[in-house]
Structure 1
Amino acid sequence: MALFLVSRTDRTDYDEYDAIVVRAGDESTALKIATHGEEKHYGESAYWSPDFPGFDRDGVNLTVERLESRGPAGLILKSFNAA
């Protein structure tokens, strides 16, 4: 397993994620984690509810980068976009 940085390539709005760090076996699994969500229903309408708002379901607005797991102790990612 490795650490992967998944980041947005487009503009980030309020209450959206612009990046996450995940542990996965490969880039495709990291992207699958980042684009996870569930289809919800409201009456006869259905909509996609992503785990990470702002991340497109098909991953077209995301990049995946493998991170070095060795190095000094410290913060890996701090990404905050509040309303």
Structure 2
Amino acid sequence: MALYLVSRTDHHDYDEYDAIVVRAGNEATALKIATNGKEHERADGSNWWDADFEGFEHDGSNLTVERLESRGPAGLVLGSFNAG
């Protein structure tokens, strides 16, 4: 396993993440961890995405993934959150 830095490619605001570091077996798994969340249904039948890492798009379109070397189990190592 390796560490992966997942970073935003767009502007971030208060109460959003701009980067996280995760441990994963490959870039695809790192991106899957970064884009995790839950979909909720509103009373009107429309849906909204509640991301685990606020500001990260569900499809990963505003993210880059960079491999860093390390060993250990899969999971979040560090999250960079911009509190407002």
Give the TM-score normalised by structure 2: 0.83
Distance 2:49 2:30 in 1: 19
* Distance apart, 1:46 and its partner CA: 1.6
Partner of 1:73: none
**Structure 2: gaps of 5 or more residues:** 72-76
Give the TM-score normalised by structure 1: 0.84
Name the % identity.
71
After superposing on structure 2, the runs of 4+ consecutive aligned residues of structure 1 that deviate more than 6 Å are none
Aligned residue identity for 1:34: A
Q: Provide the aligned C-alpha RMSD in A.
A: 1.8
Task: From the CA coordinates, give the structure whose radius of gyration is larger.
Answer: 1
The structure whose RCO (Cα within 8 Å, separation 6+) is larger is 2
Q: CA-to-partner distance for each residue in 1:46-76, whole Å, 9 max, x for gaps?
A: 2111110100111111000011228xxxxx8
